[in-house]
Amino acid sequence: MAVRIHFTDDDLAQIRLAQAPDPMWEALLSMHMLQTDTASLVFGSWRNAVRRQLAGPTGELLRLAPPVGYSADFLTPAAGTGGLDAGIGALLSTPRQRLGHDLAELAHDGRRLPSWARLLADGDKGAVTHLGGLHRQYFGTALAPWWNRVRTRFDAERAAHTRHLADGGLGGLLNTLHPGIAWHRPVLEITGLGIDRDIHLDGRGLLVLPSYFCWRRPTLLKDPTLPCVVVYPMAHETALSTAPGLRSLNALLGRTRAEILETVADGGVTTTELAHDTGVAPATASHHVGVLRKAGLLTTRRAGRVVLHTVTPLGLALLDGRA
């Protein structure tokens, strides 16, 4: 079984790569992860910390996002690509029909809904405001302390996208996103979702969104009439820890490392490119990159045949003089 997304020529021109992590999607998928014990090597430390801190009323939000099966589509509005405030603003403006439809879908699956779900389904203003408040509280507890890490991995993923797009075109990019995603022009096939469906975009285009908390397989909204987003798991190098890796920060003294940091800040680059731009031997550049990476200022990931280095938010803050 597979989901087949059919593209017109107009759709091909409207494939977009997300510019930043979507806080609404990350919130939803982190709720899934919070309700399981999977991927403990990556998320175990984060999960334990959040479970200790999450207040009772905020936990009611999890009932709208069960880890298996359907989750309410209204939790991930398209406006989330504009940031948390835009996403919650769109959540507060969800049409009554959408609220009722999604909550009925959850109830049909036998899910136990919050006590205020009936009011929410009716579009009650107080219930909708309560939902927005819970969502903001959840983000503050479960995601905000780790958001720099999420953004770092996202930036590395996007740098790899850009390189694939330049080297192999659209097909080269789509075929490298995830083993469960295959491009057979003009159809994008997604396997592993347990459903068989054809989606015709008809000029709507497609957003490609890597996610930190998406795990093992891609996902997308159930309602095919909503804006089409393909969310897929980004690569993970290390665990989502509560402690930043700052132990090697004092090793950053020196002109060459500062120059390397500035060069990487301009975009994802390879070790060879760094050596050329800074006038050092490749082995020397590799050594300095290792020190910067251990200090949490650079991140590295493979993009096809090459390995790309990108700067982290901490590295950017250091360059901007804010650290």
- Scan for tokens 């800074």, then name that residue: 278
Q: Assign a CATH topology to domain 249-319.
A: Arc Repressor Mutant, subunit A (1.10.10)
- Scan for tokens 């979702």, then name that residue: 193
Question: Sorting pLDDT into bands at 50, 70 and 90, what band is 125?
Answer: very high
pTM, to two decimals? 0.77
pLDDT tens, position by position, 156-185: 888 878 776 766 677 778 888 888 899 998
Would you call 189 exposed, middle or buried from its count of C-beta atoms within 10 A (0-12, 13-18, 19+)?
A: middle
Residues 6+ apart with CB under 8 A from 264: 274, 298, 309, 310, 311, 315
Q: Which strands form 15-17's sheet, in the order they lie side by side? A: 15-17, 206-211, 229-233
Per-residue pLDDT at 314: 82
Q: Which two tokens stand for residue 142?
A: 């479960």
- Tell me the mean pLDDT in the region 303-317: 82
pLDDT tens, position by position, 224-266: 889 999 999 987 765 665 444 334 444 555 778 888 888 887 6
Q: How far apart, in whole angstroms, are the C-alpha atoms of residue 242 and residue 141?
A: 12
Per-residue pLDDT at 279: 78
Domain boundary assignment for the chain: 2-20+148-233, 23-147, 249-319
pLDDT tens, position by position, 129-154: 999 999 999 999 999 999 988 998 89
Sign of CA dihedral 216, 78, 154, 296: negative
pLDDT tens, position by position, 190-227: 988 888 999 999 888 899 999 999 988 899 999 988 99
- Which residue(s) pair with 5 in the sheet? 188, 199
Q: How far apart, in whole angstroms, are the C-alpha atoms of residue 88 and residue 204?
A: 23
Return mean pLDDT, the chain.
86
- Which residue(s) pair with 80 in the sheet? none
Q: How far apart, in whole angstroms, are the C-alpha atoms of residue 253 and residue 298?
A: 15
Contact 227, 77 (CB under 8 A): no
